[in-house]
């Protein structure tokens, strides 16, 4: 949860946010590294196709773009270890070592951090206690450190990495952190603060040897990693069974007999869940194949989600008018101040939290050091990492700012002022919006119901949030006859009730605050009253599924995300009651 934006600090990050930053796959372990005398950025995090990100990643290591492109063409972009080893081999065969320039710019934006404490400096769950006694480690911590020691890292390095990355991070995150810190020390340790050295070929070779060691360590780490550390392999591009820009795509889908509707069901959650989660979800929901879709194909912001449903997929249609697909189309006033070196066209996933005033001030001061020229690459990379991480947009010369709630409403497809007023705080608006559906995406999937229910629909809405499914159906022109909405947040219930009244809905809305109170007796009462439910829609909490929640990423066994089983329980009861009453 965030505080008022006028006094936000980066340390107020809400780890209950819905999911991690998405377009650029920004690493949570080491997006930027501040070192004495400058900024070294590990990983570019560029938006756009994954191949571009891979190229930028290796170019950031000092290899030429031409060489990287050639190696990727030879080996593909999947196996980064093979790419790195080939690049090192080609570099060694060159007649003279490639010279690289390392800019050590004055640190105007991170004076309160040393290089060991700078990773994710704006996240609150990173403890700065560097002097923790290693003898006090728990058995779980020792189990994390033991493989690192076997790889040749020191116990001090392992302990610092574990502290910075969190106790529940993967071995890959720990090794990435240590390698990044070692390279940063090698790059900066031999030079005074104000010196901007031109590195010679010997250092280039040293750096490449360091990278080769990291590559070998990563291969060892892959053999040590357990299944639980991995995540599901998702399709690329993530367009599910089709998107409006790919409307001629033909997909054959066989729905298991037990899943054939009505009632139709529609379940949503974060795509980047721990390995096995979507297999379990699919198994419980009658073995229906998940549809993974990124909302960047519907609007100017990414939102990678998985959907399990038994809806028809033929003859879908989008909401009109089509929403803006780029940042400048969606927020045109930013174009005037957008620097040429900021290549973003899409925003990352919209979160429940925003960047702090402290962070945006640090960025402004860093850029003002170069009033008559573009800032050096080190500063550009630092600023771009923060802009992608926090969805910052340009609002003035050298000035970035977080999105306003009204802008997020627009990007998510909600009507203007949907979450405004009625005693709702600014903080609650960000939290409610960050945990909502992207309306245009959901409406595209639900559009096939319009011909099936021309006279209106009875809907059971579980974990309703701020009414994304209700808004989608309304915008599709499908009348809402009867809606039972189950939502624990009073703030969200008030938002939905207010929207219902302002849009002059003719149907009946009933609110409940707890899915666990919805038993068979209560369901039968509603279904006798309404004649059954045509659609059961919902997205259970993702708190224990999202990659950003490293400390409680317990999958479907987590305290909040285990509520998925209530979605299945209620859906199965509805199906059984309807079958019995036929």
For position 117, what pLDDT does the model report? 37
Q: What is the 3-state secondary structure (H, E, C) of 65-81?
A: HHHHHHHHHHHCCCCHH
Would you say 480 and 505 are in contact if contact means Cβ atoms under 8 Å apart? yes
For position 545, what pLDDT does the model report? 62
| Assigned domain for 516 exists | yes
Mean pLDDT over each residue of the chain, to the nearest integer: 75
- pLDDT band for position 118 (cuts 50, 70, 90): very low
- pLDDT band for position 432 (cuts 50, 70, 90): very high
528 and 461 share a domain?
yes
Greater confidence, 32 or 427? 427
Alpha carbon of residue 396 to chain centroid: 27
Residue 106 has pLDDT above 70, yes or no: no
Residue 471 has pLDDT above 90, yes or no: yes
| Assigned domain for 213 exists | no
**Cα distances (angstroms) measured from residue 88 to each of 63, 66, 374, 441:** 9, 14, 31, 44
User: In this predicted structure, which of 28-32, 223-227, 362-366 has the lowest mean pLDDT?
Assistant: 28-32
Would you say 354 and 409 are in contact if contact means Cβ atoms under 8 Å apart? no
Q: What is the 3-state secondary structure (H, E, C) of 226-241?
A: CHHHCECCCCCCCECC
279 and 391 share a domain?
no
Residue 99 has pLDDT above 50, yes or no: no
Give CA–CA dist 221/230, Å, rounded.
Answer: 12
| Assigned domain for 238 exists | no
Looking at 403, 426, 448, the residue that finishes a domain is 403
Would you say 492 and 486 are in contact if contact means Cβ atoms under 8 Å apart? no
User: In this predicted structure, which of 346-350, 351-355, 411-415, 578-582 has the lowest mean pLDDT?
Assistant: 578-582
Q: How many Cα atoms sit within 13 Å of 176 on the Cβ side?
A: 20
350 and 425 share a domain?
no
Looking at 403, 426, 442, the residue that finishes a domain is 403
pLDDT mean over 392-421: 95
558 and 574 share a domain?
yes
Residue 157 sits at the vertex; the CA angle it makes with 147 and 551, to the nearest 5 degrees, is: 70
Residue 366, by phi and psi: left (phi above 0), alpha (psi -120 to 50) or beta? alpha
419 and 281 share a domain?
yes
- CATH number, domain of 503, equals 3.40.50.150
Name which of 288, 232, 269 is nearest 562 in CA terms: 269
Question: Could you identify the residue written with the tokens 């940063």?
Answer: 184
For 90, residues 6+ apart whose C-beta sits below 8 A from its C-beta are 67, 71
387 and 417 share a domain?
no
Give CA–CA dist 64/348, Å, rounded.
Answer: 28
312 and 340 share a domain?
no
Greater confidence, 57 or 228? 57
Catalytic residue set: 542
In the beta sheet, which residues pair with residue 486? 462, 512
In the beta sheet, which residues pair with residue 458? 482
139: its two tokens: 């058995």
Would you say 349 and 302 are in contact if contact means Cβ atoms under 8 Å apart? yes
For position 3, what pLDDT does the model report? 37
329: its two tokens: 């189309």
User: In this predicted structure, which of 27-31, 272-276, 399-403 has the lowest mean pLDDT?
Assistant: 27-31
DSSP 343-381: ---SB----SS---HHHHHHHHHHHHT-TTSPPPHHHHH
pLDDT mean over 421-429: 90
Name which of 468, 347, 323 is nearest 402 in CA terms: 347
| Assigned domain for 334 exists | yes
Give CA–CA dist 138/148, Å, rounded.
Answer: 16
- pLDDT band for position 208 (cuts 50, 70, 90): low
For position 226, what pLDDT does the model report? 41
509 and 425 share a domain?
yes
263: its two tokens: 């009632």
Helix axes 80-93, 50-59, angle to 10 degrees: 40
pLDDT tens digits, one per residue of 260-283: 878 999 999 988 888 888 888 998
Looking at 357, 383, 403, the residue that finishes a domain is 403
Residue 37 has pLDDT above 70, yes or no: no
pLDDT tens digits, one per residue of 512-548: 998 888 888 899 999 999 889 999 999 877 766 665 5
539 and 457 share a domain?
yes
pLDDT tens digits, one per residue of 172-197: 667 767 766 665 555 444 333 333 33
Residue 167 has pLDDT above 50, yes or no: yes
User: Given CA atoms 41, 43, 47, 53 in this order, what sign does their dihedral have?
Assistant: positive
Look at the chain and report how many structural domains it folds into. Answer: 2
pTM exceeding 0.85: no
379 and 463 share a domain?
no
Give CA–CA dist 345/302, Å, rounded.
Answer: 11
Greater confidence, 255 or 230? 255
Name which of 123, 169, 101 is nearest 550 in CA terms: 169
User: In this predicted structure, which of 26-35, 217-226, 256-265 has the lowest mean pLDDT?
Assistant: 26-35
pLDDT tens digits, one per residue of 546-576: 655 455 556 666 666 778 888 999 999 999 8
Residue 474 has pLDDT above 50, yes or no: yes
Which residue range forms the structural domain that includes residue 351? 327-403
| Assigned domain for 440 exists | yes
| Assigned domain for 131 exists | no
DSSP 258-273: GG--SSEEEEEEESSP
| Assigned domain for 55 exists | no
345 and 494 share a domain?
no
For position 150, what pLDDT does the model report? 65
| Assigned domain for 504 exists | yes
Greater confidence, 366 or 19? 366
pLDDT tens digits, one per residue of 119-154: 333 333 333 333 343 445 566 667 777 777 766 678
- pLDDT band for position 455 (cuts 50, 70, 90): very high
475 and 383 share a domain?
no
């Amino acid at each position: 949860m965030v505080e008022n934006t006028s006094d936000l600090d980066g340390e107020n990050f809400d780890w209950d946010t819905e999911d991690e930053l998405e377009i650029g796959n920004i690493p949570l372990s080491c997006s930027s590294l501040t070192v004495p005398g400058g900024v070294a950025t590990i990983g570019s995090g560029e938006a756009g196709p994954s191949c571009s990100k891979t190229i930028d990643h290796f170019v950031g290591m000092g290899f030429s773009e031409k060489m990287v492109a050639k190696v990727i063409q030879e080996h593909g972009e999947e196996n980064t270890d093979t790419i790195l080893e080939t690049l090192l081999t080609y570099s060694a065969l060159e007649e003279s070592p490639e010279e690289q320039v390392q800019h050590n710019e004055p640190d105007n934006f991170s004076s309160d951090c040393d290089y060991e404490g700078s990773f994710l400096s704006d996240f609150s769950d990173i403890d700065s206690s560097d002097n923790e006694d290693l003898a006090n480690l728990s058995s779980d911590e020792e189990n994390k450190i033991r493989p690192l020691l076997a790889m040749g890292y020191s116990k001090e390095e392992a302990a610092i990495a574990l502290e910075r990355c969190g106790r529940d991070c993967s071995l890959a995150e720990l090794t990435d952190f240590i390698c990044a810190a070692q390279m940063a020390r090698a790059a900066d340790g031999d030079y005074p603060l104000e010196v901007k050295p031109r590195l010679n070929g010997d250092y280039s070779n040293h750096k490449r040897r360091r990278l080769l060691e990291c590559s070998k360590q990563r291969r060892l780490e892959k053999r040590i990693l357990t299944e639980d550390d991995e995540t599901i392999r998702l399709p690329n591009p993530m367009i599910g069974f089709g998107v409006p820009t790919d409307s001629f795509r033909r997909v054959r889908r066989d729905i298991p007999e037990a899943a054939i509707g009505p009632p139709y069901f529609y379940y949503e959650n974060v795509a980047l869940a721990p390995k096995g989660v979507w297999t379990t979800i699919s198994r419980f929901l009658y073995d229906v194949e998940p549809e993974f879709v990124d909302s960047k194909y519907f609007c100017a912001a990414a939102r990678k989600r998985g959907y399990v449903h038994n809806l028809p997929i033929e003859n879908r249609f989008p909401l009109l008018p089509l929403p803006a697909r780029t940042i400048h189309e969606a927020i045109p006033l930013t174009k005037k101040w957008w620097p040429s070196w900021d290549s973003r066209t899409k925003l990352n996933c919209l979160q429940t939290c925003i960047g702090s005033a402290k962070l945006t001030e640090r960025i402004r001061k860093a850029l003002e050091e170069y009033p008559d020229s573009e800032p050096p690459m080190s500063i550009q990379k630092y600023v771009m990492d923060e802009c992608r991480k926090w969805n910052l947009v340009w609002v003035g010369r050298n000035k970035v700012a977080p999105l306003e709630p009204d802008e997020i409403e627009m990007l998510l497809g909600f009507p203007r002022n949907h979450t405004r007023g009625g005693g709702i705080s600014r903080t609650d608006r960000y939290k409610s919006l960050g945990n909502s559906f992207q309306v245009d995406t959901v409406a595209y999937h639900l559009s096939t119901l319009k011909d099936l229910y021309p006279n209106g629909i009875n809907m059971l809405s579980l974990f309703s949030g701020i009414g994304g499914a209700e808004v989608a159906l309304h915008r599709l022109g499908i009348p809402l006859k009867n809606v039972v909405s189950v939502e624990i947040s009073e703030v969200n219930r008030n938002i939905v009730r207010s929207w219902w009244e302002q849009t002059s809905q003719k149907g009946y809305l009933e609110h409940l605050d707890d899915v666990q109170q919805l038993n068979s007796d209560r369901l039968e009462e509603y279904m006798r009253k309404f004649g059954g439910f045509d659609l059961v829609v919902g997205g259970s909490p993702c708190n224990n599924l999202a990659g950003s929640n490293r400390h409680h990423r317990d999958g479907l066994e987590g305290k909040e995300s285990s509520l998925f089983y209530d979605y299945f329980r209620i859906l199965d009861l509805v199906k059984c009651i309807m079958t019995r009453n036929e």
